Every structure is written in C-alpha cells, then in structure tokens.
Structure 1
C-alpha cells in the first residue's frame, strides 16, 4: 500500500542516479531522458554550475522570508526581466502559482473580469489556473469553474476579433500548447491578438511555463514572433529542478502589486534563486542559444527523414526543443515500449508523442533517441516501411 494519493499514473522506472541526458534506475538500466522532467531540466540533470550555486547558498542561509532585502533576488529579477525585455518580477514556487498571480494582476490592473483563453490550453491546476485551462478533462469533478473565462479555438483570427472587446481584461495564451498537443501559434494569429489587445486596452498574458528559458532557442518563445506582452509567466526550466515560478511584467503594472496585494512565503527562496541565476547565466548566452537552434534543426530534420513515410505518423510539429509526433498508435503502449528500449518520452493531448530533450543534448544522443523512436514506431505500425 502506498501512503501517497494516487494522483499520478507512475511508470515502472525508479531513478537511482541522473546526470546530463541520462537517468540510471535502481536496477542499473540506462535511459535517455527526453522528458527533461517535463521541460524542467533544460541544462540536463545536475548541471555542475547550478549544483555549485546551490551548494554555496546552502552554506549561507536557506530561508529568511521576503521581509528581508536579498541582493540575489534583485539580481535574478533583473536578469529575468531584461531577457524578456520587461521591467518587474514577482517570484512564486511554480507555474500554476505564477499564472494565478498573473490572473490576479490583470484583473486588478484593468478593473475588468473577462479573460480570453484557448481550447487545448493548459495553465495549471490551482483553481483560477484550472479555470483558465481549455481542457475539460482537467476540470472534471470540481464543480463550477470561475465564470469569467472565455475559451476560443486556437489560431482562429475571426473568433478573437469577435470576442475581444472593451470589457476584456486580458488574453492569456501559450505560444506552443505543450500539454495540449504541441500546437504552435501561427504568426498572423499571434500578431493579430497582440494588436487587438493594444486597441481594446486588454493585457496580453503569455504563459511561457514550458516554452521559456531557452526551450525554443530564444529566451522566450514570444520573441520568435516580435510580440509585446504585458505579462509573461515562467517556471519549469527556470530553476533546473528547484521549485520556482515568476511573473514578469511591464513597469506600468508595478503599483498594482504593492505591499500586501500579493505574496508567497517560499517565493524567491534563496536556494531556488541561486539555481535560477546559475541556469540563466548559461542559457541566456547568445552562443548557447545559437547551439540550441542548430541542434533543434538537426533533430527535426532527422525525425522527418525517419518518420514521415510511416503511415501511422499523421503530423510532426516542432519549435526548438519541443517536438510533437502525432500518431495513430496507442500512446500508453508506445511510451512503455520506448522505455523498454531505454528512451523516456511524454504524451501530449490525445495522440501526440512529445519529446522535450535537454537543451544540452548531444548529436550522438539525438541520433540514438530517434533511432529508438523510429524502430519502435515501425514495430507497431501496420504498414511499416
């Protein structure tokens, strides 16, 4: 009997050691980890610079509360804000908390309640974040959601033109719907949303929980599309595995989050801040991001070459190190067989195999992983070539 609530369908893998792109289980079996802790370990497992930063902070202090001035918080906030070309940061503990805070900030700053989000979106499992999510399966059994969210089809310009009006507080979107199936925002759609928000006085909130911190080859995915958001949320890859989230906003919003308006006991914890700072020092380097884009192109080209001719592959979608392989093969069976062959991957949506390799993955590891993917998919395909 487990003393844990059964909220997760756990795999048969129990990690014993992890480093870089590799996890070793308690039986000594080696796995290539193309989940990155669900988009968290962007520098791979236990990156040396991050581990050293955490160890150094451990010897100073672990927690003092946000009543104290902490220079490290200020430095981390500056680096994060500058990378997003914005001005202010609030540190939380997770992506859901960051999105919850962003929703509060948007409602307070505008004095409005209506927030537009999109079908197949995922914004978290706290109540407002769950209400913002455009997937019914996330909400089943929890009763009535908050009533001020409107869900529109993603990439539908006419729908957003019709619904975005003067009563709209904000539009909240993901550049890539990661949990929803690796659906990527179209350039024309994203720019129309950006324009309409400015015209109607609505705030543009971009959820970069999964796409941010270099995952797509830019510091943030919205930078591929020249968008000008008012609020950006970040988490996952920001702390290389330590719990941290952040709301990044324009300076015009700063006074709406004055003393007593919002808070978090553990938000901006010194250990998490140390990890985030060390993570950003590596990932936000121009040379590092250029290398991520090169490896992303290589990975996508290899996947297309190996898989596109297989009839059970319906589509392949990619932005940076976020890859979605839509397939008619039953996902639980496919994922288990990939694990049997030493590759860890994820589901997305109903029928999409999701690959989120570390940004530090090597070309040899990419070759090995895709060799496993094509071999296993061909095994299950009814008309394998």
Structure 2
C-alpha cells in the first residue's frame, strides 16, 4: 500500500482490524501504518514519526534497508520455503549460522534456528532438561522470556502466569542482581539458570559487574547450565554483539531472535556440539516447520553484513553514550520528572516519576515513538535503530524536553 488514505479509509482499517484480529490490549489502535525507512515510520495518512523503538529492538539496521530488501527479493525469486529441518541442506541457513556463531565466542558453534524469541526459549528449556536430566529452573524477578507455556513458566509476572497454571513445575524466582539469593536457589536438581544479561521488560536494568560472572561460577559448582536470553540484547543492541559479552561470560546456551532476521521472523538457540547432541537421542527430539525459513535467513544475512560493514556494533556503543549524555542534561533540568537513566549501547531507558505510558503518548502526539516496558510502570524504553544519527537523537531529546516542560511525567 503506497497511496495515502483519507479519514474514511483509515477508520475502515481500524474497524476491520478490531473486528477480525484477536486483541489482547483494549482500545482503538492509534494509527494505520503506511511505510517505514531508516529511523522513520510514516502512517497511512502521511505523517512521519521518528521511531526510537525499532519495533521493540528489531530494526537494528533501520527499516527497509535497501540491501535487506534486495536480499529478500532475490531469495523470493529462488524459493521462499522448503523442508527446513531434517532432510535438506539449505544454504541460507548455513550462511546465517556461520555469521552468528562467528561472534558468539569459543565453543558455541551449533545453532538451532527458530522463528521467535519465545520459540527459542522453549527450545533452550527442553535442551537444558534433556542434557542435564534435571527438572528445575531458576529464573529472575522482573524477567520476561515469552508467553508460550514453557517460556511463561520462567517469566516473572504472576498475573500473566496464574490463569494458565499449572505451568512447568519447579521454577524458582529470585531477585535479579542478587548472588546470595541465586546461590540459595541453585541446587543439584537445577537444570539451568535462565537470565537476561540486562533485563529488558524489567526496565533495561543493568546488573553489577560481578553478577553474571557470579552466576557462571554458581552454575558450574552445581552442574547446572547457564542460559542467557539475548532476544532483546543481541545483535549489537548493548554495544557488543551480545549483552553478556560486556562481562566476558561464557554461557552454555544463548537464545536470540528479534533483530537476527533483519525485520523478518528469525531466532536461534546457540550452544556447544556436546549439548546439542542430546537432541539426537532419540532422533527428532525437537522440530520446527518454519524456523530458519530461507527468506528470513536471507534477510538476516544481509542485515548482519550491513552491521559489520557499517560498524554498527561500535556505533551502538558510542551513540548510546551520546544518547545517555543528552538524557542526563534533561534529568538535571527536570529532576522532579526524570528520576533515573539506565542502559548500555542503544539499549536505553529513563525512569519517570509518573506513568511511562502517558509520556509515550505525549511524545507520539509530537511525532516521536518511544515505548514502555511490561514489568516496570515508570520506565520509558528508548531503542532506536543502530543507524540513528546524532541529529535524530537531538530531535528526540528536544521533543522529550517539551513533554517534560509541560509537566508530563511528574507523579500525580
């Protein structure tokens, strides 16, 4: 759809959307999407928005990057889907996995391709249970790992877990960034500890420098595995290829998705040949129909190569420092509204004294998209494409200044 729509057509799409697409959030949708390019999202009425969300940390190379678009077009002309698991070699799968495992660290040489973060979590939980023969998982308070039954079992918020119980048994939640609590919970029945190196939906919370190394030590002492969830933090978001690399930790299993596919559905679980060998006995211990779809892999290859050539991982680190510096200026100017700034790279958040959703709506009205998070009501999420410019960051900051100057963000 390229032509602009009038108000009648826009209302028609909103009404038909509400009538035919199952909703889990009440209310009428804000606008109808028209197109997106770089850091700009344009609605179907022709209004431009500066996108500081990247579709929740997905469009790391920007929306509709020309090389990603060209790769999708070439692949679509060849084939879009074949049997992706068990019978054939799909060259696009080989190419993307070689790229990913080339930046994960020593020994992490094998990948299982998926379509989403929740699917990656499910695979990782099964893999840990089967490899260790143990039933228990230790997860973190404020954690979010997905909404399918296994992933939901290790996601913290009780109001979303309770209606679907019984979930996986023997899941223990401990406070994030608390090694003493983790040590008390990890025992000889623990298959794995699952942790986000930086909590995403928990509020972009960065742990103490000894936390992840401490979890690594504790899991090794008890013979448990360490699963790091890099669904949001992977692919350069934190200023390193993966967030756990900020602390030089070597996990047993890495889960990822979101930005891996360059805007198309693609995820992966990365581990060692030894751990993945457990899925061979019995054969077909885990399966997928669409994971590693050739079209998604082609998009992922192109996006990865753009990241390397344009040094976007390094850019994430330097631009993230610039972004947090500019936010620091606003915090000094509006201390009653902005109470904290957190993050690494272009994985950033600021805490307001009031409701983050009110701030996000006010910024959208002024042409800038930011987001809230699921498990921290005052947190505003800022995760722009890694191609964002300093000028675009400045524009975001000036719009935020007008919002805070209007008294939005102050506790009511």
With structure 1 as the length reference, what TM-score do the two structures score? 0.96
CA distance in 1, matches of 2:247, 2:116: 26
CA distance in 1, matches of 2:130, 2:343: 36
Tell whether 2:47 aligns with 1:29.
yes
Contact kept, 8 Å, 1:214 with 1:284, in 2: the verdict is: no
Match of 2:11 in 1: none
CA distance in 2, matches of 1:353, 1:288: 23
Match of 1:147 in 2: 169
Tell whether 2:290 aligns with 1:263.
no
Q: What is the aligned length? A: 384
Contact kept, 8 Å, 2:341 with 2:349, in 1: the verdict is: yes
CA distance in 2, matches of 1:179, 1:57: 34
Structure 1: segments with no counterpart, 5+ residues: none
CA distance in 2, matches of 1:116, 1:248: 20
Seen in structure 2, the aligned counterparts of structure 1 residues 202 and 286 have a Cα distance that, compared at 3 Å, is: farther
For residues 254-333 of structure 1, the aligned pairs below 5 Å read 254-258=276-280, 259-285=283-309, 287-310=311-334, 311-333=336-358
CA distance in 1, matches of 2:347, 2:168: 31
Shift of residue 286, structure 1, vs aligned partner: 8.1
Deviating runs (4+, > 4 A) in structure 1? Answer: 381-384
Match of 2:263 in 1: 241
Match of 2:389 in 1: 362
CA distance in 2, matches of 1:178, 1:268: 25
Shift of residue 382, structure 1, vs aligned partner: 8.3
2:123 aligns with one of 91, 98, 101: 101
Q: Name the stretch that deviates more: 203-212 or 157-166.
A: 157-166
CA distance in 2, matches of 1:46, 1:284: 17
Q: Secondary structure at the match of 2:377?
A: coil
Q: Secondary structure at the match of 1:193?
A: helix
Contact kept, 8 Å, 2:228 with 2:253, in 1: the verdict is: yes
Q: Secondary structure at the match of 1:246?
A: strand
CA distance in 2, matches of 1:28, 1:45: 17
CA distance in 2, matches of 1:96, 1:144: 18
Structure 2: segments with no counterpart, 5+ residues: 1-14
Match of 2:69 in 1: 51
2:146 aligns with one of 115, 124, 128: 124
CA distance in 1, matches of 2:410, 2:250: 46
Shift of residue 381, structure 1, vs aligned partner: 4.8
Q: Secondary structure at the match of 1:323?
A: strand
